[in-house]
């Protein structure tokens, strides 16, 4: 298996649209592993022999009176084994702090969910994994805040420095992907960073043509 290509659909793509989208992506011949992070309502409809699927958030508890929330046990019950946590939008719009994210990460890992943890610094990574005893089920998504939602990626030196420090912090047990400003015009420069284990794409992942182009060029 090659690199990771993670798509964050955010609050886009209806269930009926998601099935058609997946069928198109399945036609692409690639050695890379594609993981699609879809809205909760899409997940029961998404099945594939080639792609993997994950949620965009979970609750820090497994059961209880938490109206509107979804637990790791619920994901496992429908064969969803990936979950993104700590995305900038969760921190900014839903005011999720480091302590809450750390609880979510720990609960997910303890329940066998593979976590895609979004951070913009080593300090944030350390805070969000303070109680994690094993990093084998954690993928770190480095998303520097200044480049989220833009059209430019962080400088290579900044990304490589983060990778080095993150590997040291996690005893070289985590895969590390980059997200922030990736599109079809700059994917080649990101591809040159051999230290990266993959990429995470936001807005460009919900446009089938742009997403195909990125997949084909990475």
Q: Which of 26, 143, 161, 195 is catalytic?
A: 143
Q: Which of 165, 158, 34, 94 is nearest to 85 (CA)?
A: 94
Span between the terminal Cα atoms of the chain, in Å: 13
Chain centre to alpha carbon of residue 23: 21
Decide if 168 is catalytic: no
Q: What is the CA radius of gyration of the chain?
A: 16
Decide if 87 is catalytic: yes
- Concatenated DSSP letters for 117-149? EEESSHHHHHHHTTT-S--TTEEEEE--GGGTT
Q: Which of 26, 69, 87, 168 is catalytic?
A: 87
**CA-CA distances (angstroms) from residue 217 to 52, 183, 212?**
20, 11, 9
How many other C-beta atoms are found inside a 10 Å radius of the C-beta of residue 98? 17
**CA-CA distances (angstroms) from residue 136 to 30, 46, 49, 170?**
24, 25, 23, 9
Q: Active-site residue numbers?
A: 87, 143
């Amino acid at each position: 298996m090659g690199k990771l290509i993670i798509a964050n659909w955010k609050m886009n793509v209806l269930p009926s649209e998601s099935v058609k989208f997946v069928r198109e992506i399945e036609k692409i011949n690639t050695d890379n592993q594609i993981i699609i992070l879809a809205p909760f309502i899409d997940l029961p409809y998404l099945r594939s022999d080639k792609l993997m699927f994950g949620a965009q958030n979970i609750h820090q508890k497994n059961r209880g009176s938490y109206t509107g929330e979804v637990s790791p046990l619920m994901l496992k019950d429908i064969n969803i084994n990936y979950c993104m946590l700590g995305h900038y939008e969760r921190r900014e719009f839903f005011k999720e702090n480091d302590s809450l994210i750390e609880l979510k990460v720990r609960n997910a890992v303890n329940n066998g969910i593979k976590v895609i943890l979004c951070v913009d610094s080593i300090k944030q990574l350390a805070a969000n994994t303070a109680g994690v005893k094993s990093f084998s089920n954690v993928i770190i998504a480095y998303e520097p805040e200044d480049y989220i939602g833009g059209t430019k990626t962080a400088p290579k030196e900044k990304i490589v420095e983060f990778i080095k420090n993150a590997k040291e912090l996690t005893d070289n047990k985590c895969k590390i992907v980059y997200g922030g400003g990736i599109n079809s015009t700059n994917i080649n420069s990101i591809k040159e960073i051999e230290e990266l284990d993959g990429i995470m794409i936001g807005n460009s992942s919900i446009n089938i043509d742009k997403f195909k182009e990125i997949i084909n060029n990475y």
